[in-house]
Amino acid sequence: MLTFPIIAKTITGLEGVLASELESLGATDIMPLNRAVSFTGDQEFLYRANYCCRTALRILKPIFHFEINEQKDLYDRLYEYNWEDIVDPDQTISIDAVISYTVFTNSQFVAQKSKDAVVDRIRAKCGKRPSVDLDNPDLRINVHLFKDLCTVSLDSSGQSLHRRGYRQSTGPAPINEVLAAGLIKLSGWDITTPLIDPMCGSGTLLIEAGMLAKNIPAGYFRKQWGFLKWKDFDPRLWETVKSGSDTRTSTVKLQLYGADRAQRAIASAQENIRFAGLVNDITLKEISFEESVPPVENGFIVCNPPYDERLKLDDSIAFYKMIGDTLKRKYSGSVAWFISSDLESLKFIGLRPSRKITVYNGPLECRFVKFEVYAGKKGS
């Protein structure tokens, strides 16, 4: 089968995790980039990456490149492309534009001019132009300008791949599913070790851990991808990819524990966990962290606590001090990972981190910090 270059977009800080994931799936020519990983694959792998990748936001198929010396080059070169071979005039399109260090200063203007070129070309060749649908287009086009190079790609994912399909209910400031999966992978969690999220919110970290441990494909609960509407879509190949991935799921029994002080959060988590089919693997309890009792000894904690930019805290320093005090008093022998953008308050946990990893939660620069909670003076 013919191979071609592919680009997987991700969150800043997860490029290495995504590269490893793509390698395990069978990609070749892998190269980490800024918020992305480039690699080589065929049509079957394009489908598999969309269905199985846990740390990719979008899978793009570059179709051509050109240089831009002046602004009119954007319209002219896009107009020259045979868009009528890719999209019919009665279909819908949407264009995403990303610009860096280029002659253009506004990405929306780039998207508008690109759209004009595409629809004008199709109207000239077919007598009718496609409409624009920003929410659910038949074809999503990605235009990326870096300095004088423009790369035009087809977005095979459609909606962002973080939209797994299992999240039926959310609370305030839910963690992105791709980020949650990336944190679980970065933590080095061994699936045989009990995992605890003591501030679990709507349960995303626990569900992503469960899906990872049971090898449930990231897209298992999802219904739509962009490539399903492409002219070259191969339904038989797609069913082969899905069925082959689904047969590799595991029935291993897991020990996953979640807690939250908010009744509404627990209710949301229960609904999402039930939809994901992980009710027998995840135990929930409505309780605050400071009042909690460890469900197991020597557990493995991964947690996304509130931080001021996401959820306002009355006293963030006191809150993080409580986290440290609770760890030292009750969770001796545990490994604990916390993500936060509140770098100053993190210091008041009062434990020396053994590892710090920079990741982004949306626009927020965060630290994913590891604490090894020893008994006695070593942990204090």
Closest CA to 301 of 278, 322, 332: 332
Percentage above 90 pLDDT, the chain: 91
Q: What is the pLDDT of residue 282?
A: 98
Percent of the chain with pLDDT over 70: 96
pLDDT exceeds cutoff 90 at 365: yes
| 152 close to 141: Cβ distance less than 8 angstroms | yes
Model confidence pLDDT, tens digit, residues 322-362:
999 999 999 999 999 999 999 988 999 999 999 999 999 98
CB 53 within 8 A of CB 18: yes
Q: From the options 3.10.450.50, 3.30.2130.30, 3.30.300.160, 1.10.10.10, give the CATH code of 3-155.
A: 3.30.2130.30
Q: What does DSSP say about strands 256-260 and 131-132: parallel, antiparallel, or unpaired?
A: unpaired
Whole-number pLDDT of residue 376: 58
**Number of Cβ within a 10 Å radius of residue 301:** 25
Range(s) for CATH 3.30.2130.30 in the chain?
3-155
Does position 307 have pLDDT exceeding 70, yes or no? Answer: no
Q: What is the predicted pLDDT for the residue at 260?
A: 96
| pLDDT (tens digit per residue) in 17-46 | 999 999 999 999 999 999 999 999 999 999
| pLDDT given at position 171 | 74
Residue extent(s) of CATH 3.40.50.150 domains in the chain: 177-214+250-379
pLDDT digits (tens, 9 = 90+) for 251-275: 999 999 999 999 999 999 999 999 9
Q: Three-state SS for 182?
A: helix
User: What local confidence, expressed as pLDDT, does residue 356 receive?
Assistant: 97
- Please report, for residues 24, 41, 112, 137, 361, the alpha-carbon distance to residue 45 in angstroms, rounded to integers and kept in the order given: 12, 5, 32, 23, 28
Q: Is the pLDDT of residue 109 over 60?
A: yes
pLDDT for residue 340: 94
pLDDT at position 311 is 45
Identify the band that residue 308 occupies on the pLDDT scale cut at 50, 70 and 90.
Answer: low
Phi first, then psi, for residue 202 (nearest 5°) are -85, 10
Q: Is the pLDDT of residue 312 over 90?
A: no
Please tell me the distance from the alpha carbon of residue 257 to that of residue 251, in angstroms, as a whole number: 18
**CA–CA gap between residue 290 and residue 299 (Å, rounded):** 16
Residue type, 113: K
Does residue 377 register a pLDDT over 70?
no
pLDDT of 379 over the 90 cut = no
Instruction: Identify the burial level of 43 via C-beta atoms within 10 angstroms of its C-beta, where 0-12 means exposed, 13-18 middle and 19 or more buried.
Output: buried
Average pLDDT, the chain: 94
pLDDT in the model for residue 378: 46
Instruction: With cut-offs at 50, 70 and 90, classify the pLDDT of residue 167.
Output: very high
pLDDT surpassing 90 at residue 9: yes
The architecture that CATH gives domain 177-214+250-379 is 3-Layer(aba) Sandwich (3.40)
* 52-69 per-position pLDDT tens digit: 999 999 999 999 999 999
What was the pLDDT predicted at 283? 98
